[in-house]
Structures are given as C-alpha cells and as structure tokens.
C-alpha cells in the first residue's frame, strides 16, 4: 500500500513538473534568475523585463504589432519581453536565452509582414528596442548615428530639426523601425536617386551571439555587407546604424493623377511601363491600382493612381512630364510644392498634420484594414494589355474590395549599383516591382483565409509575366508562402528556395557569413539564413 502511495506521489510530482514545463514556467523562471545574476545592474534590468504576469505585458507586446493577423488569442506569445536600455541588457538576454534554450525574436518597429519579430512556435523571448532609439544628427559631416529602435519618422524629424535640405533614403511609412528596414534593404522615395537604406549606411554597432559589441572595423567587411540587406534576425542584433545623409532641394514637388479604366487607365499603365524606369532619377514614379465603384453608373471599375515625388519645383517638373509622358496630362493643379519632410506627410496622407506626428510610434495608417497579406514580384518585360486585364478582373473580385496593387518603377541609380554591392540584389534589368496587398477589417478576420487564398491566386496568375529563375521577391515584403525553415534543423537546400528569390546569387555569401558569425544558428526564424553544417 505504502509503495502504491509513493508511486502516486511520484507520478503527481512528475506530472506537475511536466505541466509547469509545458506552461513555460520552468524555462521562464530559470531565465529570469539568470538575467538577474548575469546583469551587473540588476536594479535597472528588472525595469525592462515583462513577464506574462506583468500588468503591462500585453500593452508592451501589442504596442507595435502592426499586422493584427498576429494579435489573436491563438497567436503564440513570448515568455518574456525585454526592452533593453543598456548594452549590458542585450548581453545578459542573449547569454541567458542561449543557456536556457529560448529563442530570441528582435523587434524594432514591428512591421514584419509575417510577424516574425514577435511570434514564434517555440518558447521565445522578444527583445524590443523601443528604449534604444536615440538619433544623433551631424549636419556638418552629413551623417547621423541612429539607434536601431528609432522609427523612420523620428529620423526624418530629427534631421529636419537641423536641416531642411538633408534627408535619409528611407521608406514612406513613418512608423517603420530603422532596425528591420535597413536589415532587409529599405526602399523609399529617394531610392532611384540614392539607392536603398542599406546603400546609405557607413558604419554600425552590432551585438553577436557571444555578446560581443562590434563596429564595422571589428566585425569585418563580410558581416558589415550581410547586415545591410541580408534580412533581419539572422546574424545578431543591430544596435545602431551610422547613416549617410543625402542632399535634397529646399522645394520638392509631389503629384498624384487618378484615372479609371473608362478614362484610359489601361493605355496609360501600358505607356508607364515603357517609360517609368527611364524618368529622371529625381522621381520615384508608381501606379497604385484598386477597385472602386464608378461615379457614373455605380459599376465596379479600376482606379489607377499615378504618383511621384520630384526633387525640384513644379516649373521644373511640368516640361519633363510634358516631354516624356504627355499622355498623362499632368497639370499644375495635380502638383503640390513642399519641403522634403512635408512630402513624408503627403505620402502618408497626413497633410495638414503637425510634423510631430512623425514621432508617434503607435500611430496606425487609417487607410485600409490592419489585417493583411503581402506579396511582391519583379517585372523585366512590359506586361501585355491582355495580362493587365486579367489582373484587373481579379482586382474586381469580392475578396479584393480593399486590395491594392502598386507598380513601383526601378531604374535610376538602381541600374548603376552592382547586384552584389549589398545583399539586396534587385538592380539593373528591372522595369518595376509589384506590391500586392490584400487587407481586411477585424469583423471579417474569421474569413481571413479567403483573402489569403485570393492573394495566392493572383500571385499564381502573374507567374508568366514576372521574373523567373528565380522568381524574385523583396526580403522586406516578407512572405512565408515562398518557403520556410523547419522548426528544428535548417537546410541549405530548403532555404535556398526563398533565399535565392530574396537575394539571388548573394544568398551563398550570406550563408558563408552566417556560418562564420553564428555557426550554432542561435539567431533564427522561419526565413533566417541557415549556417552550413
């Protein structure tokens, strides 16, 4: 009898231990204990740790969940969130995560389209750089040291405080984090004039899996090359970037011209495909397409909106457009002059708002749903009218009522920067990039699959008309449909499926860098670069 009681007791102890392990209690407690032992300033590290019991845990976690698809009760949540305020906090978190078998997900602005900076299928810790966001602008030397947790809006604002004729070649959307943006390449209003964000980085501060703090000199040119476009979350944590600032005129011009199919939009897009990439480097021409109800008869049609920034005045722009693209009929009324920083507000549809809105990290774009699925393509040959009509017909599907497809012209300096200058390989030979965005509202999230299926159908439909072998994709427009690492062991062959789409021939060099800096593959996620085993 006694031995039965003893066995029952033993069994219940084992069950309790297993249960607490499966609920994450054990690794979390060991991890927390490790953090306080490891950190030489335990009083400050305790202020930046959020466990699930902390009343601020959800607020901190949700603060930069941009794609609300990944904010449901079923979404796996981190055991702990750490928001380091000192480099020693990063070191302690890396050391203790390694020691206790927890994965790290690094988050700067939280814009990852697949939520990889705050979602993982294994026990994990989020390192959120919200407290690492100083921006130090040196106008005299045309440089800025920017901590990776700053958002682009903070960078633009701090530059504009000191100069209205200097800028950074960053993206349009102001709440994007500098950490992820540059890690994946970085494309924006100035990219045809000055290249990607990564092309405009001249130094970095970085922490590796052994807690070493490295700069460009101490990390070496291979790693410095890899972190400027090889995708975030693969090599270590970028703490700060030293950015090269670029000159912009005091007055720039923004324009937008919209035409429906009935107003000749198809012919205009066909013409735009021919000349968009040849327009001056001072422009970033794009065409956004979406379905609308016609004002004449209420039937569905497609509205194509042609827009661009121009680094110059209206008087300089109009003759260029008259000569190169007269069919568009661009008039003075379609154009607005402003400063470069104001153009960021314009393209965020925030005209008339104070510049301070650019500092708002939690601001959400009022346009479109906050639940979305994104894909990308590159186009090397103009698409035929028949193919375009097929695309329009799909844009008129019921699931696409809030979808938007944007053609973004390439050319300019992108044709002159070699493909291997940084890991971002989409340079000469591209007419334009396609951005596919299907989005929906909270009340329709139960039907999310139908929207995701729609985006897959459109992507399949476009296969014959876009780049091939590989079918190129933009790493910052993360899309797990094109492939994913296994949860456990990664494979070079498997990763090259999407790796070659994102990085083309640069993928092999990224694998070599990864093998050297992180051979044990500590920094990993569904689309991280694998080491060679």
Q: Beta strands 432-440 and 371-379: pairing type?
A: antiparallel
Residue 184 makes contact with ligand FDA by CB under 6 A:
yes
Select from 168, 187, 290, 498 the one that contacts ligand FDA (CB under 6 A).
187
Residue 111 makes contact with ligand FDA by CB under 6 A:
yes
How far apart, in whole angstroms, are the C-alpha atoms of residue 81 and residue 58? 10
- Annotated catalytic, 95? no
Residue 228 makes contact with ligand FDA by CB under 6 A:
no
For residue 434, give the H/E element and its range.
strand 432-440
Local structure of 403: helix, strand or coil: coil
How far apart, in whole angstroms, are the C-alpha atoms of residue 361 and residue 342? 18
Residue span 132-161 as binding mask against ligand FDA, x where in contact by CB under 6 A, dash where not: ----------------x-------------
Which of the residues 157, 346, 371, 477 is marked catalytic? 477
Q: Which residues pair with 303 in a beta bridge?
A: 260, 290
Residue span 33-52 as binding mask against ligand FDA, x where in contact by CB under 6 A, dash where not: --------------------
Residue 476 makes contact with ligand FDA by CB under 6 A:
yes
Residue 107 makes contact with ligand FDA by CB under 6 A:
yes
Give the shortest CB-299-to-ligand FDA separation in angstroms.
31
Residues within window 323-352 making contact with ligand FDA, judged by CB under 6 A = none
Residues within window 368-427 making contact with ligand FDA, judged by CB under 6 A = none
Give the shortest CB-528-to-ligand FDA separation in angstroms.
8
Phi, psi of 73 (to 5 degrees): -65, -25
Which stretch, 22-30, 92-100, 113-121, 337-345, contacts ligand FDA (CB under 6 A)? 113-121
Query: Please, are residues 378 and 386 in contact by the beta-carbon 8 Å criterion?
Result: no
Give the shortest CB-263-to-ligand FDA separation in angstroms.
28
- Residue 228 tokens, joined: 């400027």
Q: How many Cβ atoms sit within 10 Å of the Cβ of residue 320?
A: 16
Give the shortest CB-131-to-ligand FDA separation in angstroms.
12
Measured from the CB atom, is 94 or 391 closer to ligand FDA?
94
Select from 110, 195, 229, 531 the one that contacts ligand FDA (CB under 6 A).
110
Select from 78, 123, 232, 312 the one that contacts ligand FDA (CB under 6 A).
232
Which stretch, 108-116, 315-323, 355-363, 400-408, contacts ligand FDA (CB under 6 A)? 108-116
Which stretch, 14-22, 40-48, 104-112, 295-303, contacts ligand FDA (CB under 6 A)? 104-112
Select from 78, 109, 230, 499 the one that contacts ligand FDA (CB under 6 A).
109
Query: Please, are residues 147 and 135 in contact by the beta-carbon 8 Å criterion?
Result: yes
Give the shortest CB-478-to-ligand FDA separation in angstroms.
6
Scan for tokens 């100035």, then name that residue: 190
Select from 24, 84, 153, 188 the one that contacts ligand FDA (CB under 6 A).
188
Residue 176 makes contact with ligand FDA by CB under 6 A:
yes
Measured from the CB atom, is 113 or 346 closer to ligand FDA?
113
Residues 6+ apart with CB under 8 A from 449: none
Sheet holding 300-310: strands in order across?
335-338, 252-260, 300-310, 286-293, 404-409, 432-440, 371-379
How far apart, in whole angstroms, are the C-alpha atoms of residue 179 and residue 241? 8
How far apart, in whole angstroms, are the C-alpha atoms of residue 325 and residue 266? 14
Give the shortest CB-48-to-ligand FDA separation in angstroms.
16
How far apart, in whole angstroms, are the C-alpha atoms of residue 137 and residue 158? 7
* 385-395 vs 448-462: helix crossing angle, rounded to 10: 180
Select from 79, 129, 144, 201 the one that contacts ligand FDA (CB under 6 A).
129
Select from 27, 153, 179, 369 the one that contacts ligand FDA (CB under 6 A).
179
Which stretch, 52-60, 112-120, 161-169, 333-341, contacts ligand FDA (CB under 6 A)? 112-120
Q: Following DSSP, what letter does each residue of 250-314 receive, concatenated?
A: S-EEEEEEEEEGGGTHHHHHHHHHHHGGGS-TTB--EEEEEEEE-TTT--EEEEEEEEEEESS-H
Give the shortest CB-238-to-ligand FDA separation in angstroms.
4
Q: Which residues pair with 337 in a beta bridge?
A: 253
Which stretch, 135-143, 229-237, 324-332, 479-487, contacts ligand FDA (CB under 6 A)? 229-237
How far apart, in whole angstroms, are the C-alpha atoms of residue 155 and residue 393? 41
Q: How many Cβ atoms sit within 10 Å of the Cβ of residue 508?
A: 15
| Residues in contact with ligand FDA by the rule CB under 6 A | 66, 105-113, 116-117, 129, 148, 171-173, 176-177, 179-181, 183-184, 186-188, 232-233, 237-238, 365, 476, 525
The catalytic residue positions are 477
């Amino acid at each position: 009898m006694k031995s039965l009681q003893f066995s029952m007791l033993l069994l219940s102890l084992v069950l309790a231990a297993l249960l607490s392990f499966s609920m994450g209690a054990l690794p979390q407690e060991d991890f927390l204990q490790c953090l306080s032992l490891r950190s030489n300033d335990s009083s400050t590290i305790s202020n930046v740790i959020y466990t699930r019991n902390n009343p601020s845990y959800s607020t901190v976690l949700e603060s930069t969940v941009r794609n609300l698809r990944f904010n449901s009760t079923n979404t796996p949540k981190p055991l702990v969130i750490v928001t380091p305020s000192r480099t020693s906090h990063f070191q302690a978190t890396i050391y203790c995560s390694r020691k206790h078998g927890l994965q790290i997900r690094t988050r700067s602005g939280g814009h990852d389209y697949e939520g990889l900076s705050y979602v993982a299928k294994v026990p994990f810790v989020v390192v959120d750089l919200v407290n690492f966001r100083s921006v130090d602008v040196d106008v005299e030397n045309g440089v800025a040291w920017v901590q990776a947790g700053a958002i682009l809006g903070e960078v633009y604002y701090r530059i504009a405080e000191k100069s209205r004729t200097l800028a950074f070649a960053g993206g349009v959307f102001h709440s994007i984090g500098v950490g992820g943006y540059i890690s994946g390449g970085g494309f924006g209003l100035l990219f045809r004039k000055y290249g990607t964000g990564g092309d405009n980085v001249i130094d970095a501060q970085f922490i590796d899996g052994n807690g070493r703090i490295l700069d460009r000199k101490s990390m070496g040119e291979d790693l410095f090359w890899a972190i400027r476009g090889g995708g975030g979350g693969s090599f270590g944590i970028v703490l700060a970037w030293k950015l090269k600032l670029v000159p912009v005129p005091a007055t720039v011009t923004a324009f937008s011209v919209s035409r429906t199919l009935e107003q000749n939009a198809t012919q205009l897009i066909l013409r735009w495909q021919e000349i968009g990439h040849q327009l001056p480097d001072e422009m970033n021409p794009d065409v956004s397409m979406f379905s609308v109800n016609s004002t004449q008869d209420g039937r569905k049609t497609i509205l194509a909106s042609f827009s661009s920034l121009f680094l110059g005045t209206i008087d300089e722009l109009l003759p260029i457009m008259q000569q190169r693209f007269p069919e568009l009929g661009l008039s003075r009324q379609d154009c607005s002059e402003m400063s470069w920083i104001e153009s960021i507000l314009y393209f965020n549809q925030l005209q008339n708002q104070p510049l301070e809105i650019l500092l708002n990290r939690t601001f959400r774009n009022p346009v479109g749903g906050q639940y979305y699925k994104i894909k990308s393509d590159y186009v090397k040959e103009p698409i035929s009218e028949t193919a375009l009509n097929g695309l329009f017909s799909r844009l008129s599907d019921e699931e696409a009522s809030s979808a938007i497809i944007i053609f973004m012209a390439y050319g300019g300096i992108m044709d002159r920067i070699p493909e291997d200058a940084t890991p971002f390989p989409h340079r000469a030979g591209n007419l334009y990039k396609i951005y596919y965005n299907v989005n929906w509202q909270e009340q329709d999230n139960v039907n999310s699959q139908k929207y995701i299926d729609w985006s897959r159908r459109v992507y399949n439909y476009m296969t014959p008309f876009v780049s091939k072998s590989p079918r190129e994709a933009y790493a910052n427009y993360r899309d797990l449909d094109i492939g994913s690492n296994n949860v456990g062991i990664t494979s070079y062959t498997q990763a090259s499926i999407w790796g070659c789409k994102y990085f083309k021939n640069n993928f092999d060099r990224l694998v070599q860098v990864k093998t050297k800096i992180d051979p044990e593959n500590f920094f990993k996620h569904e689309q991280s670069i694998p080491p060679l085993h």
